[in-house]
Amino acid sequence: MVDVADEETLREQLVEQYIHVERIGLNELASGNLSVRFGDNMLISPSGATADNIAPDTIVECSLEGEWEGDRKPSSEWRMHAAIYQKNEKTQAVVHTHSDYCVAMASNLKPLPGFHYLVGSFGGTDVPCVPYSTFGTQSLGDDAAEALTDRSACLLGKHGMIARGRNIKSTVDLAHRLEIMCRQYVLACRVGEPEPLTDEEWAEFFDRAQKVAYGKFI
């Protein structure tokens, strides 16, 4: 049984981070969605949520099979969130955004290559991009969940990005970092195609990363 106080805290954190995500430019209007695991269910931002209308009592408790009670509907992307929670037991939070540079990369169906060592902070030598699927579909959810098997974030073809993490704040930070890395890659490409790190350089990075704070890849 989940403690009611914990539920109130999670709802407040979701609202705080939803507003923060818009404040830092990762989402605009009613795009994107955030959720946290809640026992066997999840708490997820409602359909049509914006930074102006979201509140703790608008957050929807939804089962991983898509069942909920009340008048408010969960985000249309609940299937993608549910698929990730089902595929990755360690995942405690999911953040989906339509941030500008992630969308720019995803619109070209391009993964983010390992041009910079911090790409490795997402768990591998690149950040994959899944094929395009219509929003809100099971195929999109399944593709995203599969891509996140050994990554903490991925791009969604012609759509945006999604990240998973241990709590909602750190997962928003991952989404923010991916937007920064995509922006820096686009800027680097104006000079020329950046050379990716070599296998040897990646091996050294991951060895070193296990000894510092950002080395614990989910």
179 neighbors 153 (Cβ within 8 angstroms): no
CA 32/CA 27 separation, integer angstroms:
6
Which DSSP string corresponds to the chain?
---HHHHHHHHHHHHHHHHHHHHTTS--TT--EEEEEETTEEEEPBTT--TTT--GGG-EEEETTS-B-SSPPBPTTHHHHHHHHHH-TT--EEEEE--HHHHHHHHTT--B-SSSGGGGGGTSSSB-EEPP--TT-HHHHHHHHHHTTS-SEEEETTTEEEEEESSHHHHHHHHHHHHHHHHHHHHHHHH-PPPPPPHHHHHHHHHHHTTSGGG---
Q: Between helices 100-107 and 168-191, what is the axis angle to 10°? A: 60
Which tokens sit at 51? 């930074």
Catalytic center residues: 77
